[in-house]
Structure 1
Amino acid sequence: MTNPVFTSSAIFGENRRGRGAAQQRGPYAASGAGTATMPGQEAGSLEQMYGAPTATSRDTGRLTYDDVIVKTGGLLALLVAVAAVTWYVAPGLFFVGMIVGLVLGLINAFKKEPSPPLIIAYTVAQGVFLGGISFLFQNMTWDGTQVQPIVLQAILGTFATFGVALFLYRSGKVRVTPKFTRWLLIAMGGYLVFSLLNFGLSFFVASEGFGPLRNGWMGVAVGLFAVGLAAASLIMDFDAIKRGVEQGVSAKFAWSAAFGLIVTLVWLYLEILRLLAMFNRE
């Protein structure tokens, strides 16, 4: 796995072993609702079972897709609200939001049990960071009379990429295989080293505002590559969540799944926003 939220979790990380064990239990293994059926079971009981309403996390205490969707949507709404307030009130606080968000992100990523208050606090910090950095990047496009609406474009681009990644994963056109995972790990490791080097050099070498290694065509190429990495990471996140649901993990881990998606979406948005700022900078 590439997202540390899922990588460090024994809950979401047991993919191949969990699936293999389920297959070895044979054709009479537990069904999706967790109820075993045997050949001699009465027809009346089967009819009653299949006619019953679908179990929810409240009924079973297990993780469901609805849980993840609701919590992710709530965190996204909070993120956008805080970012909007920061944009209009105190965009200069983006650096504080970045530091606090980084610390809380690491704490949440490596906690064995999800902490809703810490996840919410992380979302607030990231909202402060995104509101301020979005204000800064959009002002880079000022041509003396107006600015380009790159923030709106980045938001639309983020959701469009999310939708395409989800479609490709659900359709089976892109599958998470060991080869796919290995490639993504190597690519993201290389991108991390490149980004750290670029950040370090920015203190000593003049640049256009994005670091000396991200000037001109090279910056655009690296940005496009990073967007592709973030999209691939989304697919890995979808696969981890699917495994969690299939394995019947506790419903409380919906917070971890939602947090992992927020981390990837924030990264994706920043990469798209940076690209648009490069294209539109005067």
Structure 2
Amino acid sequence: MRSSNPVFSRADGFNGRGSASGMSYPTQGSPQYAPPAPQYGGQQYGGPTGGAPTGYAPASTERMTIDSVVQKTGLTLGVVVVVAVATWFLTGPITDPQALTTLYTLSMVGALGGFALSMVNSFKRVVSPGLVLAYAALEGIFVGAFSKAMEAQFGSGDGTGLVMGAVAGTFAAVAGTLAAYKFFDIKVGQKFRTWVVAAMFGFVAVSLLDFVLGFFSADIGVNGFGGMGLVMSLVGLGLGVLMLILDFDFVERGVAAGLPERESWRAAFGLTVTIIWIYIELLRILAILRGND
């Protein structure tokens, strides 16, 4: 079953096409080994004969595990946090509107740069740890600058209000979603996957349209801090949680397919994208609610 997350769609094992014997890419020249492929979730992994996919061969004795995914995700998120904190302190105090404009400009640079690298990472056949960490650094600039701007406009200004609330909420959302996924044994079906992906693309399309319309003073407020912005952020938060469920499902499938250890970086990248999404939507919700007090 193919992953709907473009981050995971480049790795066969995340889509039920890897084999338990491992997977490498076509550049490997070692002889192929094709034991019977395991069954997982009602779908067989492997090529047409039940073995390794055509053109693939074992690349490493190291296999991706839950522990390796957690470690790589922790490192990637650590880079985001370190760069975000550095951005917060290096930009200095907000003493005038120009300083706030600078923060928004910096956040846009980080967001656009992160988006560009996310596209590169999503469509690379072989995951690059360096590019994943570079993405994390750019997202750290975005998160740090945007968080400071939100805190300056709607919070206490020292990070103890909106930012801490959004961080705590993000931890709660990730932990709660993971607990529900494991304890309730959530099964991701094709209809659920299709609905979430369609909703995600629709959400992004509406947000981009509103962003473009803003240049002509014709925006409808979905990216703003009014009632429409609150509704969109609530929808975005819900979508983030649903995407997190898809992420957990595809990581579990990748581990079961016996992907090489380097694919832990791809999993870490996908999880980081979703966690940042959740944090930003929570931050916007808190900012809007504080602004309406």
For the 8 Å contact 1:223–1:274, the answer to whether it is kept is: yes
Query: Structure 1 residues 2-11 or 148-157, which shifts more?
Result: 2-11
- Does the residue aligned with 2:154 lie in a helix, a strand or coil? coil
Correspondence 1:1-282 to 2 at 5 A? 1-14=3-16, 22-23=38-39, 60-90=61-91, 92=103, 93-141=106-154, 149-205=161-217, 212-213=221-222, 214=224, 216-281=226-291
- Counterpart of 1:53? none
Cα distance in 2 for partners of 1:175, 1:140 equals: 42
Cα distance in 1 for partners of 2:61, 2:19 equals: 23
Provide, for residues 219-246 of structure 1, a one-character-per-residue CA deviation record: whole Å limited to 9, x for no partner.
2222111101000001100011101111
Q: Which amino acid aligns with 1:212?
A: G
After TM superposition, which residue ranges in structure 1, 4 or more long, deviate above 6 angstroms?
A: 15-18, 145-148
Change in CA separation of 1:15 and 1:181 when aligned onto 2, cut-off 3 Å: farther
Cα distance in 2 for partners of 1:16, 1:224 equals: 36
Provide, for residues 27-64 of structure 1, a one-character-per-residue CA deviation record: whole Å limited to 9, x for no partner.
xxxxxxxxxxxxxxxxxxxxxxxxxxxxxxxx941111
Q: What are the ranges of 5 or more consecutive residues in structure 1 without an aligned counterpart?
A: 25-58
Provide, for residues 198-257 of structure 1, a one-character-per-residue CA deviation record: whole Å limited to 9, x for no partner.
1112222377xxx62355333222211110100000110001110111111101101111
- Does the residue aligned with 1:227 lie in a helix, a strand or coil? helix
Q: Which amino acid aligns with 2:121?
A: N
Q: Which amino acid aligns with 1:150?
A: L
Cα distance in 2 for partners of 1:9, 1:177 equals: 19
For the 8 Å contact 1:201–1:212, the answer to whether it is kept is: no
Change in CA separation of 1:74 and 1:162 when aligned onto 2, cut-off 3 Å: same
Query: Structure 1 residues 152-161 or 96-105, which shifts more?
Result: 96-105
Cα distance in 2 for partners of 1:159, 1:148 equals: 16
Cα distance in 2 for partners of 1:16, 1:225 equals: 34
- Displacement of 1:173 in angstroms is 4.9
Query: Structure 1 residues 228-237 or 188-197, which shifts more?
Result: 188-197
- Displacement of 1:161 in angstroms is 0.4
Change in CA separation of 1:142 and 1:165 when aligned onto 2, cut-off 3 Å: closer
TM-score of the two chains, using structure 2 as the length reference: 0.76
For the 8 Å contact 2:13–2:19, the answer to whether it is kept is: no
- Does the residue aligned with 2:215 lie in a helix, a strand or coil? coil
For the 8 Å contact 2:151–2:158, the answer to whether it is kept is: no
Give the total of aligned pairs.
243
- Displacement of 1:169 in angstroms is 0.9
For the 8 Å contact 1:61–1:251, the answer to whether it is kept is: yes
TM-score of the two chains, using structure 1 as the length reference: 0.78
Change in CA separation of 1:197 and 1:206 when aligned onto 2, cut-off 3 Å: closer
If each structure's helix is expressed as a fraction of its own residues, which one has the higher value?
A: 1
Q: What are the ranges of 5 or more consecutive residues in structure 2 without an aligned counterpart?
A: 21-35, 41-59, 92-101
Provide, for residues 136-189 of structure 1, a one-character-per-residue CA deviation record: whole Å limited to 9, x for no partner.
11112158x988710111111111000111011112353211111011122112
- Does the residue aligned with 1:212 lie in a helix, a strand or coil? coil
Cα distance in 1 for partners of 2:146, 2:153 equals: 11
Q: Which amino acid aligns with 2:86?
A: V
Identity of aligned residues (%): 37
Query: Structure 1 residues 91-100 or 227-236, which shifts more?
Result: 91-100
Q: RMSD in angstroms over aligned alpha carbons?
A: 2.6
Cα distance in 1 for partners of 2:158, 2:76 equals: 32
- Does the residue aligned with 2:262 lie in a helix, a strand or coil? helix
For the 8 Å contact 1:2–1:233, the answer to whether it is kept is: no
